[in-house]
Amino acid sequence: MSVHQQIKKVTTHVLSEMKLKGEKISMLTAYDYSMARIIDKAGVDVILVGDSASNVMAGYETTLPITLDQMIYHGSSVVRGVERALVVVDMPFGSYQGNSKEALHSAIRIMKESSADAVKIEGGQEIIESINRILSAGIPVMGHLGLTPQSIHKFGTYAVRAQKEDEAERLVADAHALEEAGCFAIVLEKIPAALAARVARELTIPIIGIGAGGGVDGQVLVVHDMLGINQEFSPRFLRRYHNLYAEITGAVKNYIQDVKSQDFPNEREQY
Ligand code: KIV
Protein backbone atom coordinates (compact mmCIF):
# COMPACT_ATOMS: atom_id res chain seq x y z
CA MET A 1 0.00 0.00 0.00
CA SER A 2 1.32 3.48 -0.82
CA VAL A 3 2.13 6.04 1.91
CA HIS A 4 -0.68 8.18 0.44
CA GLN A 5 -3.24 5.40 1.08
CA GLN A 6 -2.03 4.55 4.60
CA ILE A 7 -1.81 8.01 6.12
CA LYS A 8 -4.62 9.59 8.15
CA LYS A 9 -2.82 12.95 8.64
CA VAL A 10 -0.03 14.19 6.37
CA THR A 11 2.97 15.60 8.25
CA THR A 12 6.32 16.92 7.04
CA HIS A 13 7.77 13.47 7.95
CA VAL A 14 5.21 11.78 5.71
CA LEU A 15 6.36 13.96 2.81
CA SER A 16 10.02 12.92 3.40
CA GLU A 17 8.92 9.29 3.43
CA MET A 18 7.07 9.81 0.14
CA LYS A 19 10.23 11.22 -1.44
CA LEU A 20 12.30 8.30 -0.09
CA LYS A 21 9.83 5.81 -1.60
CA GLY A 22 9.62 7.70 -4.91
CA GLU A 23 5.92 8.47 -4.37
CA LYS A 24 4.92 11.80 -5.94
CA ILE A 25 3.35 14.48 -3.73
CA SER A 26 0.13 16.25 -4.82
CA MET A 27 -0.43 19.83 -3.70
CA LEU A 28 -3.18 22.34 -4.56
CA THR A 29 -4.06 25.79 -3.30
CA ALA A 30 -7.25 26.58 -1.37
CA TYR A 31 -8.37 29.77 0.31
CA ASP A 32 -11.72 28.92 1.91
CA TYR A 33 -13.44 26.26 4.02
CA SER A 34 -15.69 24.73 1.34
CA MET A 35 -13.03 24.23 -1.34
CA ALA A 36 -10.49 23.00 1.22
CA ARG A 37 -13.01 20.43 2.45
CA ILE A 38 -13.61 19.07 -1.07
CA ILE A 39 -9.96 18.78 -2.06
CA ASP A 40 -8.95 17.34 1.31
CA LYS A 41 -11.65 14.64 1.06
CA ALA A 42 -10.46 13.93 -2.50
CA GLY A 43 -7.08 13.05 -0.98
CA VAL A 44 -4.63 15.82 -1.92
CA ASP A 45 -1.46 15.58 0.21
CA VAL A 46 -0.71 19.29 0.79
CA ILE A 47 -3.02 22.31 0.72
CA LEU A 48 -1.30 25.63 0.16
CA VAL A 49 -3.07 28.77 1.30
CA GLY A 50 -1.15 30.71 -1.32
CA ASP A 51 -0.79 34.45 -1.50
CA SER A 52 -2.24 33.87 -4.99
CA ALA A 53 -5.44 34.56 -3.01
CA SER A 54 -4.52 38.17 -3.81
CA ASN A 55 -5.14 37.39 -7.51
CA VAL A 56 -7.86 34.76 -7.58
CA MET A 57 -9.89 35.74 -4.51
CA ALA A 58 -9.38 39.50 -4.34
CA GLY A 59 -8.80 40.34 -8.03
CA TYR A 60 -5.49 42.17 -7.62
CA GLU A 61 -2.94 42.00 -10.44
CA THR A 62 -0.10 40.90 -8.17
CA THR A 63 0.36 39.05 -4.89
CA LEU A 64 1.75 42.15 -3.19
CA PRO A 65 -1.41 43.75 -1.71
CA ILE A 66 -2.60 40.82 0.42
CA THR A 67 -2.01 41.41 4.14
CA LEU A 68 -0.94 39.17 7.00
CA ASP A 69 -4.42 39.49 8.57
CA GLN A 70 -6.05 38.42 5.29
CA MET A 71 -3.71 35.41 4.95
CA ILE A 72 -4.57 34.39 8.51
CA TYR A 73 -8.29 34.69 7.69
CA HIS A 74 -7.88 32.46 4.61
CA GLY A 75 -5.61 30.07 6.54
CA SER A 76 -7.99 29.57 9.45
CA SER A 77 -10.93 29.07 7.04
CA VAL A 78 -8.98 26.34 5.20
CA VAL A 79 -7.80 24.64 8.40
CA ARG A 80 -11.43 24.26 9.58
CA GLY A 81 -12.20 22.28 6.40
CA VAL A 82 -9.19 19.94 6.48
CA GLU A 83 -8.67 16.63 8.28
CA ARG A 84 -5.90 14.92 6.34
CA ALA A 85 -3.75 17.24 4.23
CA LEU A 86 -0.78 19.23 5.50
CA VAL A 87 -1.83 22.90 5.47
CA VAL A 88 0.84 25.45 4.53
CA VAL A 89 0.19 29.21 4.67
CA ASP A 90 2.18 31.69 2.56
CA MET A 91 3.95 34.52 4.36
CA PRO A 92 2.73 37.58 2.44
CA PHE A 93 4.83 40.39 1.01
CA GLY A 94 5.91 42.81 3.74
CA SER A 95 5.53 40.32 6.59
CA TYR A 96 9.15 39.06 6.67
CA GLN A 97 11.42 41.23 4.50
CA GLY A 98 12.09 43.86 7.21
CA ASN A 99 14.15 41.75 9.60
CA SER A 100 14.24 38.29 11.13
CA LYS A 101 12.40 39.41 14.28
CA GLU A 102 9.49 40.68 12.18
CA ALA A 103 9.58 37.44 10.15
CA LEU A 104 9.36 35.35 13.32
CA HIS A 105 6.53 37.51 14.68
CA SER A 106 4.56 37.06 11.41
CA ALA A 107 5.15 33.30 11.31
CA ILE A 108 4.05 32.95 14.94
CA ARG A 109 0.86 34.91 14.20
CA ILE A 110 0.10 32.61 11.24
CA MET A 111 0.62 29.45 13.31
CA LYS A 112 -1.23 30.71 16.41
CA GLU A 113 -4.18 32.36 14.68
CA SER A 114 -4.77 29.99 11.74
CA SER A 115 -3.62 26.66 13.30
CA ALA A 116 -1.82 25.82 10.04
CA ASP A 117 0.90 23.14 9.98
CA ALA A 118 3.65 25.19 8.31
CA VAL A 119 4.53 28.44 6.54
CA LYS A 120 5.97 29.06 3.05
CA ILE A 121 8.36 31.89 2.34
CA GLU A 122 9.81 33.21 -0.95
CA GLY A 123 13.57 33.63 -1.30
CA GLY A 124 17.00 32.07 -0.78
CA GLN A 125 20.20 33.02 1.02
CA GLU A 126 19.11 36.68 1.39
CA ILE A 127 16.39 35.63 3.89
CA ILE A 128 18.26 32.75 5.56
CA GLU A 129 18.49 34.60 8.89
CA SER A 130 14.69 34.92 8.98
CA ILE A 131 14.25 31.26 8.03
CA ASN A 132 16.66 30.20 10.80
CA ARG A 133 14.76 32.24 13.35
CA ILE A 134 11.37 30.85 12.30
CA LEU A 135 12.73 27.29 12.33
CA SER A 136 14.29 27.78 15.77
CA ALA A 137 10.78 28.53 17.09
CA GLY A 138 9.74 25.04 15.92
CA ILE A 139 7.76 26.26 12.91
CA PRO A 140 8.16 24.11 9.78
CA VAL A 141 9.18 26.15 6.73
CA MET A 142 8.64 25.42 3.04
CA GLY A 143 10.96 27.40 0.73
CA HIS A 144 10.03 28.92 -2.65
CA LEU A 145 12.61 29.59 -5.40
CA GLY A 146 12.63 30.32 -9.14
CA LEU A 147 9.78 32.62 -10.12
CA THR A 148 8.94 34.37 -6.86
CA PRO A 149 5.85 36.49 -7.64
CA GLN A 150 6.41 38.84 -4.68
CA SER A 151 9.54 40.12 -6.53
CA ILE A 152 7.67 40.92 -9.75
CA HIS A 153 8.69 44.58 -9.63
CA LYS A 154 12.37 43.62 -9.41
CA PHE A 155 12.19 41.35 -12.50
CA GLY A 156 9.39 43.09 -14.41
CA THR A 157 8.11 39.86 -15.97
CA TYR A 158 6.68 36.43 -15.11
CA ALA A 159 8.99 34.73 -17.67
CA VAL A 160 10.81 31.45 -17.02
CA ARG A 161 13.60 31.94 -14.44
CA ALA A 162 17.16 30.56 -14.15
CA GLN A 163 17.70 29.95 -17.85
CA LYS A 164 21.22 31.41 -17.74
CA GLU A 165 24.00 29.45 -16.06
CA ASP A 166 24.84 31.98 -13.34
CA GLU A 167 21.19 32.29 -12.26
CA ALA A 168 20.80 28.50 -12.37
CA GLU A 169 23.89 27.99 -10.16
CA ARG A 170 22.59 30.63 -7.71
CA LEU A 171 19.27 28.79 -7.53
CA VAL A 172 21.01 25.47 -6.80
CA ALA A 173 23.11 27.15 -4.08
CA ASP A 174 19.94 28.71 -2.60
CA ALA A 175 18.19 25.33 -2.60
CA HIS A 176 21.13 23.75 -0.72
CA ALA A 177 21.12 26.65 1.76
CA LEU A 178 17.38 26.16 2.43
CA GLU A 179 17.88 22.42 2.96
CA GLU A 180 20.86 23.01 5.30
CA ALA A 181 18.86 25.55 7.29
CA GLY A 182 16.16 22.90 7.87
CA CYS A 183 13.31 23.67 5.43
CA PHE A 184 11.15 20.56 5.01
CA ALA A 185 10.41 21.12 1.29
CA ILE A 186 10.89 23.65 -1.49
CA VAL A 187 8.56 24.89 -4.24
CA LEU A 188 10.34 25.54 -7.54
CA GLU A 189 8.30 27.77 -9.84
CA LYS A 190 8.71 28.18 -13.61
CA ILE A 191 12.29 27.06 -14.17
CA PRO A 192 13.76 24.66 -16.79
CA ALA A 193 12.77 21.04 -16.14
CA ALA A 194 16.38 19.78 -16.25
CA LEU A 195 17.44 22.26 -13.56
CA ALA A 196 14.49 21.36 -11.32
CA ALA A 197 15.28 17.65 -11.74
CA ARG A 198 18.91 18.33 -10.76
CA VAL A 199 17.77 20.11 -7.56
CA ALA A 200 15.41 17.21 -6.73
CA ARG A 201 18.28 14.73 -7.22
CA GLU A 202 20.83 16.69 -5.19
CA LEU A 203 18.54 17.46 -2.23
CA THR A 204 17.05 14.99 0.23
CA ILE A 205 13.98 17.15 1.02
CA PRO A 206 10.94 17.03 -1.31
CA ILE A 207 10.92 19.44 -4.26
CA ILE A 208 7.45 20.48 -5.44
CA GLY A 209 7.25 21.98 -8.91
CA ILE A 210 4.93 24.36 -10.72
CA GLY A 211 6.04 24.81 -14.31
CA ALA A 212 9.22 22.91 -13.39
CA GLY A 213 8.70 19.62 -15.26
CA GLY A 214 8.15 16.05 -14.12
CA GLY A 215 11.57 15.28 -12.62
CA VAL A 216 10.68 16.69 -9.19
CA ASP A 217 9.03 15.04 -6.18
CA GLY A 218 5.56 16.56 -6.52
CA GLN A 219 3.39 19.12 -8.29
CA VAL A 220 1.35 22.12 -7.21
CA LEU A 221 -1.29 24.09 -9.13
CA VAL A 222 -3.61 26.95 -8.24
CA VAL A 223 -7.01 25.29 -7.81
CA HIS A 224 -8.92 28.05 -9.67
CA ASP A 225 -6.62 27.54 -12.68
CA MET A 226 -6.79 23.73 -12.82
CA LEU A 227 -10.58 23.72 -12.39
CA GLY A 228 -11.00 26.33 -15.13
CA ILE A 229 -12.72 28.90 -12.91
CA ASN A 230 -10.12 31.40 -13.97
CA GLN A 231 -9.97 31.51 -17.79
CA GLU A 232 -7.58 34.43 -18.34
CA PHE A 233 -4.45 32.64 -17.16
CA SER A 234 -3.17 29.94 -19.56
CA PRO A 235 0.57 29.35 -19.18
CA ARG A 236 2.07 26.31 -20.94
CA PHE A 237 2.53 24.42 -17.67
CA LEU A 238 -1.16 24.56 -16.72
CA ARG A 239 -3.34 21.50 -17.30
CA ARG A 240 -7.06 22.29 -16.98
CA TYR A 241 -9.02 19.41 -15.47
CA HIS A 242 -12.40 21.05 -15.81
CA ASN A 243 -14.19 24.06 -17.27
CA LEU A 244 -15.99 25.29 -14.17
CA TYR A 245 -16.34 28.77 -15.69
CA ALA A 246 -18.67 27.32 -18.35
CA GLU A 247 -20.44 25.01 -15.85
CA ILE A 248 -21.14 27.87 -13.42
CA THR A 249 -22.22 30.23 -16.21
CA GLY A 250 -24.69 27.59 -17.47
CA ALA A 251 -26.12 26.98 -14.00
CA VAL A 252 -26.50 30.70 -13.28
CA LYS A 253 -28.23 31.27 -16.67
CA ASN A 254 -30.67 28.43 -15.90
CA TYR A 255 -31.41 29.96 -12.49
CA ILE A 256 -32.03 33.43 -13.99
CA GLN A 257 -34.38 31.93 -16.57
CA ASP A 258 -36.27 29.94 -13.91
CA VAL A 259 -36.70 33.04 -11.73
CA LYS A 260 -37.89 35.21 -14.62
CA SER A 261 -40.32 32.56 -15.90
CA GLN A 262 -41.55 31.92 -12.33
CA ASP A 263 -40.63 28.24 -12.68
CA PHE A 264 -38.59 28.67 -9.47
CA PRO A 265 -39.67 28.17 -6.74
CA ASN A 266 -42.28 25.51 -7.45
CA GLU A 267 -44.81 24.16 -4.92
CA ARG A 268 -42.36 21.68 -3.38
CA GLU A 269 -39.80 24.42 -2.90
CA GLN A 270 -41.87 26.55 -0.57
CA TYR A 271 -43.51 26.35 2.90
O1 KIV B 1 0.65 31.56 -3.97
C2 KIV B 1 0.66 30.49 -4.59
O3 KIV B 1 -0.38 29.99 -5.05
C4 KIV B 1 1.93 29.82 -4.79
C5 KIV B 1 1.96 28.66 -5.74
C6 KIV B 1 1.87 29.12 -7.12
C7 KIV B 1 3.13 27.79 -5.51
O8 KIV B 1 2.91 30.22 -4.23
Measured CA to CA, the distance from residue 189 to residue 149 in angstroms comes to: 9
77 in the same domain as 117: yes
Nearest-atom number in ligand 1 for the CA of 222 is 3
Q: Let me know: does 31 contact 49? Beta carbons within 8 Å.
A: yes
- 221/150 same-domain check: yes
Q: Let me know whether 97 and 214 are in one domain.
A: yes
Q: Are 193 and 228 part of one and the same domain?
A: yes
Q: Is 189 a catalytic residue?
A: yes
Cα(260) to ligand 1 centroid in Å equals: 41
Closest residue by CA, ligand 1 atom 8: 50
Residue nearest to atom 1 of ligand 1 (CA): 50
Confidence label for 159 from pLDDT (cuts 50, 70 and 90): very high
- Considering the domain architecture, whether residues 167 and 193 belong to the same structural domain is answered as yes
| CATH number of the domain encompassing residue 29 | 3.20.20.60
Q: What is the pLDDT confidence band of residue 64, given thresholds at 50, 70 and 90?
A: very high
pLDDT tens profile 71-87? 999 999 999 999 999 99
Q: How buried is residue 241: exposed, middle or buried, by Cβ count under 10 Å (0-12/13-18/19+)?
A: exposed
181 and 50 in a common domain: yes
**Are 12 and 40 part of one and the same domain?**
yes
Q: Does one domain contain both 68 and 86? A: yes
Per the structure, the complete domain to which residue 202 belongs is given by 3-240
> How far does Cα 75 stand from its chain's mean position?
12
What is the atom index within ligand 1 of the atom nearest the CA of 63? 1
Whether residues 136 and 234 share a domain: the answer is yes
Question: What radius of gyration do the chain's Cα atoms show?
Answer: 20
Q: What is the pLDDT of residue 77?
A: 98
Tens of pLDDT, residues 97-137: 999 999 999 999 999 999 999 999 999 999 999 999 999 99
Same domain, 271 and 165: no
- State the Cα angle at 156 between 152 and 159, rounded to 5°: 85
Total count of domains within the chain:
2
Residues forming a β-bridge with 208? 187, 218
